[in-house]
Amino acid sequence: MIPLASRTARRKTETTLLSYSRQGLPRPARLYSSPTKRASAPTLDAVPSTLSDSFPAFLPSLSKFDSDGTGDSSDMVTFLRSPTPYTVLPPPLPLDKRVDGGDTLYTDTPTRDYIAVMDACLHNGYDVPRAKEIFDDLRAKQSQYVFHPRLYTTFIEAYLNMAVQEPEKKSLWVEDAWTLLDTMFSGREKVAATTSTYALALLAWLRYSSENSPTYIDGITSHTPSSLLTGIVDNQLSVATVVADRAITSSEEAHGIIQALTKVAVQLNYPEIIRELGQAEAMASTAPDPLSGVPEAAPVTVSTLLMNEDGTSTGETQTEVPFNLDTLRKHLAHVSLARRVLAEDLAARQKVLEDSVYDVSVQRMRRQAEIFQKIGLGGSALKQPDLQLWMWQWHQQLHARLKEDIALLRKQEESTKTKPQQRLVPFLSLIKPDKLSLITILEIMRLQGTGGVADGMKTARGLVAVGRAVELEYKAQMCKKNNITVPSSTRSGEQGFFSRFSYQDLHARRVTARKYMEDAEEWTSEWTQVLRVRVGSFLVDRLMEVAKVIRTGRDKRTGEPVEEEQPAFTHSYEYLRGYKLGVLKLNPAVAERMAKDSMRDTMHPRHLPMLVKPKPWLNYNEGGYIYNKSHVMRFKDSQEQQQYLKHASSSGNVELVYAGLDVLGSTPWQVNRRVFDVVLQVWNSGERLGKVPPAVHDEPEPVKTPEMEVDQKARSLYVQRQRQWLVNKANNHSDRCSVNYKIEIARAFLGDTFYLPHNLDFRGRAYPLPPHLNHIGDDLSRGLLLFGEAKPIGERGLWWLKIHLSNLYGYDKATFEERVTFVDQHLDDIYDSADNPLTGRKWWQAADDPWQCLATCMELKSALQSPDPLAYECALPVHQDGTCNGLQHYAALGGDARGARQVNLDVTDRPSDVYTYVGNMVEKRMREDLEKDPNNQYAKLLVGKVSRKVVKQTVMTTVYGVTFVGAREQIEKQLKDRGDVPLEDCYMAAAYLAKQVLQCIGTLFQGANDIMNWLTACARIIAKSVPGDRVTAAMELDLPPARARRIPPAGTTRLRKEQMTAVVWTTPLGLPIVQPYRKVKRKQIMTSVQSVYISDPNAPAEVNTQKQASAFPPNFIHSLDATHMLLTALECRTQGLAFASVHDSYWTHPSSIDQMSGIIRDTFIALHSSDVLRRLLDEFRERYKGYKVPVASLKTSQILKQLGITEAATETASRRSKAAQAGLDLATIDAIEEDDEPPAEVVDRPPEVFVLTKEQLLKLLRPSRLKRVKQAEDGTESVPEETLEGKFVDLVDLLPPVPTKGEFDVNKIKSSLYFFS
């Protein structure tokens, strides 16, 4: 158990838990239990059904929500305006400055490799002496990574097991165990004793110090049950939990410990302990009965003789239920956690789903192979080779090969003095060879077509994926080993989430459940990328050697059939974007079968939905799937982000983030059977429809023309078209495999209610963990999904369902009434689409989202034709989408009235469409270009073809920092999809159009540009800074290490190496965001497949200043829209609404849209009423207090160019005036740097360090100096940089003020009909 931060915090937690344990007794299921009643939200009939002049009809009346308190958002507003707790950690040290054994926060790769070897050697007692050697060495080096209670108890347990396995060395192993126990009891190494510690100590005493023990060792320890019980009481641990700890595996030993402790408790006069032990023994003798009211079966009993006080037998017997340790643990799970365990039937199915995926795959493949053999179709007799038969043959051969090679490798490693971190056998022995074989085959087949490689994958990606899959399977086995009781769902949220009590309650519940889970699980370590590559290489190399396929064909000369044995997987090199890249390729025959055959045997449960509600997020690495380990955030190989989240979680700063993810994961789903039947019919037909690609690529291959022989341009055009045709053909195959996955998963879950566990990306955006079939997927995925619960649609729900259908069809920029009219006018087409989707007029196929449109057509027809349309039970999700949500956040941040009107924040009669507006601006500019130059080729080609769809993505991503190259690629893709622009002209036409679009946008959203510039300026300053305690080290001379490949110029300082500061900020919900952008340093790993280069997340390099700066605006906005989504999810749970989201698209039942629309507006207003930018500036000032920015890194000339100042000798007053107009002060302007840094100055000794004030900096960077900088750029004069070397300025002094806010009042959103629609 992990102790709370203070005695006060402990008391608060105990008080909270006590209050919950007394509610509703004797029913103890309160913690993490399902909602028992509907939240006290307004009923459906309370929602107005007609439009009101005073208040939008789809928004709940404020008075109604205030009257019962359900919709009162004052707690949320108070929470968002209160100070956000920051998680502040130092940046990682440069790699060459790390002490031996690793940093206290950021452990290096060699140390992690040692720890992984130690873990593997401990597993099943593989090599405990070697593990002990590594452990003692790391402790001697004071490596902070090993000072963890769970690791200490793992070693104590291993020592006690070794005492049983090696009786001749029993005394030595037990002595080692007591030595480690004494270390924990004394606190010498700052590792606190836990429940498991005392359980192991009692076990050791019972086995080796109890005089009645057959393995008694005299004088091995001075500890007695009396001293141990005193320690348990002093540490405020539950004695019953100690007895039920997983370390005690024998019911007889647990019973003996209870008897010894009871005797001691009597002697020490501990009545509470006596009572607790008595209850524990009683609970362990009574099996819990989950079926209340059902007669019990008579329990199995044992007969015992009754004894007299003098120890003689009375001759009489009595029967009793024997002591059972598992029963005790199950009781404690009910009582101490006070929550329901998983429903037995669904839990069993989910356990099978996660537990035996490889066993099921093997059984199914073996069965199919036996069937083929019986009917004489084994081996090459199959005219159409079957994928499962091939996989079974590969598995048999690879299994045998792995057993042989692992045995040989074990002998080799034992006979030679191989370094511990270079050994592979300990890791290959964690999982049996048959599972290693299946993991390798399934992972390689799953990754085909990824990373831009047709019918294959990048070698590095494949090797890492196989290694990671082995690691995850090992950890899943450790989770399953102890049969842990799992929390089933979060609290209902009926009382809200944002009050102080609710937040503390969330924290108390999570801490209690987390401690229980940690104490019940065995310790495991994280593998490094290097280790994953080495394990993956060993397995993939063997797979490529043994896996073969028989390909058949016909001889072109004789026409006779021929066959040839070929490798199923091969390694080769390809050029991708100018880089030579190692790839693993599937044999064309295998790739072809993957697009046709069933894919269910290639599915791992971590890629599937769940049959039960996901495990609540209890920690940064505990939640989601029951057994398969997941992290709450996708770290992008950033050790720094992981450490920030770990510390924020332990401090209780991210409770609402965890709660929001639990809300998203607890939304039930089901497969839309009617749509699935149509999809399956289309799939089996092999025809193209919507997102279902054809079985055979249907695009005609370019034809060679006679002109190619003499016309170079014609030949070049043919080559270009042929290359694009091959790419499209490969993409068609890849898409076919992807759709195959979706269909197989949907088919497997037909008739089931399932759930999608969620986690976050590093910006805080939520994504489902199952990657193939989820609501964030494409139109086909969304069309296949329904909510798991249906609700009466009602009058307003029917109205919204029609609007939803209009939106999906593409008629989404009209008023609501016009959209409803549009649907009413097409009811005949809608009915025809629902009844005859593939044989009728196919109206639905012309929709923007055809599969979702078909699902809505079917639902609308069913509702309208039901006996009572308003009572129709509807499970179809209806969406409310933001209008260019990034621009909405920018407009609200800056109070930009003009921008607010463009993105529907302001009140308008009709919805504004910023994409159409920009498209019309571009059309106008192109016509003007044609008037100036009638021969303008691209203006002439594009006039009349610039639809909103062509410019939509570019407009949307402009506020996220899209570059010209990115805009050109986006527009080029849209032009190709249109098909009316010649392929050879798409590139140059897209370049011309991108320039026009970016120029139009620049003048339209000036407020957004001001905020983007401010965010970029802050990020550049931060990325150039150095912590105050590292300034002296930054001025040391950069001396090359021994055997350095790249030797720095003599006399340069370490300044650039010390610039390790990433941009970090905290969302309003307390989530720390760390930008992971650092300069790429790849590590070469020699493998049997090829030499692999990977980035090592445990060896961070200095930050990439340009990437930190350019990515900050979009990442910050993404963190805001993620916060808005989580706030909305929590409020919807409070008011009893089903909720799902796709970033800025929020889903609920049709009848709940009015209520959710009000919540969306309330949460957005509350978020932007908290002065977000000022709070961000305050956080930067607090977080980076004491950080210094080198004056040599300040680039004044770049800022002058950005501000349009062309004369370097401009007067100071003029410069200040232009700076004020841009919202920046002079120091800030001078601080922002260019991409190209000047070379570092050569010095003969470390320069002195001077910290300048802001006034001194302004004097140093005077206008005359700026003039000389400009002249230096012209080559007319050089600037002496020696005056800047060693000079620093406080980062806080350079931070620019927040841009002046405009006049737009964010509260107007409340009356905006089309804000989200």
What is the set of active-site residues? 881, 952, 1144
Q: Concatenated DSSP letters for 988-1010?
A: HHHHHHHHHHHHHHHHH-HHHHH
Long-range contacts of 570-578 (CB under 8 A, 24+ apart): 570/544, 571/459, 571/544, 571/1089, 571/1090, 574/453, 576/452, 576/453
Count Cβ neighbours within 10 Å for each residue of 50-80 and write b for 16 or more, e otherwise.
eeeeeebbbbbbeebbeeeebbebebbbebb
Q: Report the run of H or E that residue 825 belongs to, with start and end.
A: helix 816-825
Structure tokens at 247: 């370390």
Q: Which amino acid is at 58?
A: F
Beta strands 1287-1290 and 1250-1252 are: parallel
Residues 6+ apart with CB under 8 A from 322: 251, 285, 300, 301, 302
Structure tokens at 653: 């700063």
Q: Report the run of H or E that residue 1072 belongs to, with start and end.
A: strand 1072-1074
Check residue 707 and report its DSSP letter. Answer: G
CB 1197 within 8 A of CB 1270: yes
Structure tokens at 273: 């302990």
Q: How far apart are CA 1022 and CA 1184, in angstroms?
A: 8
Residue that the structure tokens 């009101």 belong to? 52
Which residues, listed in sequence order, are joined to residue 46 by a DSSP beta bridge?
none
Distances (CA, A) of 965 to 253, 961, 969: 70, 11, 6
Distances (CA, A) of 1152 to 182, 301, 794, 799, 1160: 60, 56, 10, 12, 12
566: three-class secondary structure by DSSP:
strand
Q: How many residues does the chain have?
A: 1317
Beta strands 1072-1074 and 548-554 are: unpaired
Q: How far apart are CA 88 and CA 109, in angstroms?
A: 24
> In this structure, what is the dihedral angle of CA atoms 781, 786, 787, 791, given to the nearest 10 degrees?
150
Q: How far apart are CA 808 and CA 810, in angstroms?
A: 5
Residues 6+ apart with CB under 8 A from 1059: 1023, 1024, 1025, 1026, 1034, 1102, 1103, 1105
Residues 6+ apart with CB under 8 A from 1230: 1194, 1195, 1196, 1199, 1257, 1261
Q: How far apart are CA 1309 and CA 903, in angstroms?
A: 11
Residues 6+ apart with CB under 8 A from 676: 743, 746, 747, 750, 784
Structure tokens at 169: 């060395």
The candidate with the shortest Cα–Cα distance to 768, out of 578, 630, 897, is 630
Structure tokens at 731: 């993409």
Residue that the structure tokens 């005219």 belong to? 383
Q: Concatenated DSSP letters for 741-809?
A: HHHHHHHHTTT--BB--EEE-TTS-EEES--SSSTTS-HHHHHTEEESS-EE-HHHHHHHHHHHHHHHH
Q: How far apart are CA 239 and CA 34, in angstroms?
A: 29
Instruction: For residue 630, count other CB atoms closer than 10 A to its CB.
Output: 20
Which residues, listed in sequence order, are joined to residue 975 by a DSSP beta bridge?
none
